[in-house]
Amino acid sequence: MDIAKLLSWIPHEDYRNPPPVVGVIRLTGVIGESMPLRRGLSLAELAGPIERAFRLPRLKAVALSVNSPGGAPVQSALIAKRIRDLAAEKEVPVIAFCEDVAASGGYWLACAADEIYAHESSLLGSIGVIAASFGFHDAIGRIGIERRLYTAGERKSLMDPFSPVREQDEARLKRLQGEIHESFKAWVRSRRGDKLTGPEEEIFSGEIYSGRRAQEAGLIDGLGDLRGILRERYGERVKLRRVDGERSWLRRRFGLAPVSANSRSAGVPDVAALGAGVADGLWAVAEERAMWSRYGL
């Protein structure tokens, strides 16, 4: 009798006693619309992976791997809400793990979790709202260019970079920023609650915290990495199932925008659309680089 062959038919331990599963969703990059050369974090991009993560068999928890300097507040709120809705529906805990940065909108996403962990050197917080632009009205005047701007509605134009700054525009922008800031603060209070131990005037000032200081202020629950914490909690046999979105052939190959509908039927990229998209993408990359550089990265 071939003992080795006989033993091969005995079910493996994973079949007799299947290991627990944790779905892992990576939330990496700037939050907002995807552009050529830059894949943004948006609900449109993440709805599928989030849904699939909560449908995994033998699911014990969903982990969020967060590494984002922030971005669009609406997309931050939409992504976080979808995660919370599914967590409540499936009755599954959500645990966030912050990598280099979970700041501004990145921290908004982390707050979708029931618990937040980070490395001691992670950068977190930046609970505020920022807007930046350039003013070119003096420059175009010096080279003989006249700015012509026509609107129907006296408040249609806001902070036009080719016109002098108007006091009423500054006041409107600050009002809008204040309203978004209040929504951000309300979200953090609702998710962190009594865990917040630092003074609110500092926490909500836009201050940036290291992981250790963030723990002291109650912005996170502890220090640690995704694999270590999850193995400690669910055992060494725990299976970490990363769930990613689907990407087009062109994005998989080069990180660029998908092909157009007409070109897709022919199996080739739309060159004209791609050229225009790359120009927009280069600007998006510059903006993204500026966002990361705020945190020295």
Q: Residue 242 carries which DSSP code?
A: E
Distance of alpha carbon 274 from alpha carbon 269, whole angstroms: 7
Q: What is the DSSP string of 117-157?
A: EE-TT-EEE--S--------HHHHHHTTPPP----SSTTS-
Phi, psi of 134 (to 5 degrees): -120, 160
pLDDT of residue 274: 47
Question: Mean pLDDT, to the nearest integer, of 266-288?
Answer: 52
More confident residue, 266 or 135: 135
List Cα–Cα distances, 232 to 26, 53, 86, 112, 199, in angstroms: 21, 21, 25, 22, 32
| Residue at 62: amino acid letter | V
pTM above 0.85, yes or no: no
Q: Which of 16-25, 151-160, 245-254 has the highest mean pLDDT?
A: 16-25
Question: Mean pLDDT, to the nearest integer, of 263-290?
Answer: 52
pLDDT of residue 263: 40
Question: Mean pLDDT, to the nearest integer, of 263-286?
Answer: 50
pLDDT digits (tens, 9 = 90+) for 6-59: 555 555 555 668 899 999 999 999 998 766 555 689 999 999 999 999 999 999
pLDDT digits (tens, 9 = 90+) for 95-141: 999 999 999 999 999 999 999 999 999 999 999 887 766 777 677 77
Distance of alpha carbon 29 from alpha carbon 243, whole angstroms: 16
Contact 40, 33 (CB under 8 A): yes
What percent of the chain clears pLDDT 70, i.e. is strictly above it? 74
Question: Mean pLDDT, to the nearest integer, of 155-179?
Answer: 80
What is the torsional sign of CA 154, 157, 158, 161? negative
| Residue at 95: amino acid letter | I
Residue 271 region by backbone torsions, left for phi larger than 0, else alpha for psi between -120 and 50, else beta: alpha
What is the rounded end-to-end Cα distance, in angstroms, of the chain?
63
> Taking each helix axis from N to C terminus, what angle separates 43-53 and 73-90, rounded to the nearest 10 degrees?
20
Query: Can you list the domains of the chain with their CATH numbers?
Result: 3-126+207-248 (3.90.226.10), 130-194 (no CATH)
Two structure tokens written together for 57? 């068999």
Mean pLDDT lowest among 4-13, 112-121, 153-162, 232-241: 4-13
Q: How confident is the model at residue 257 (pLDDT cuts 50, 70, 90)?
A: very low
Q: Tokens 């790359």 — which residue?
A: 278
What percent of the chain clears pLDDT 90, i.e. is strictly above it? 56
Average pLDDT, the chain: 82
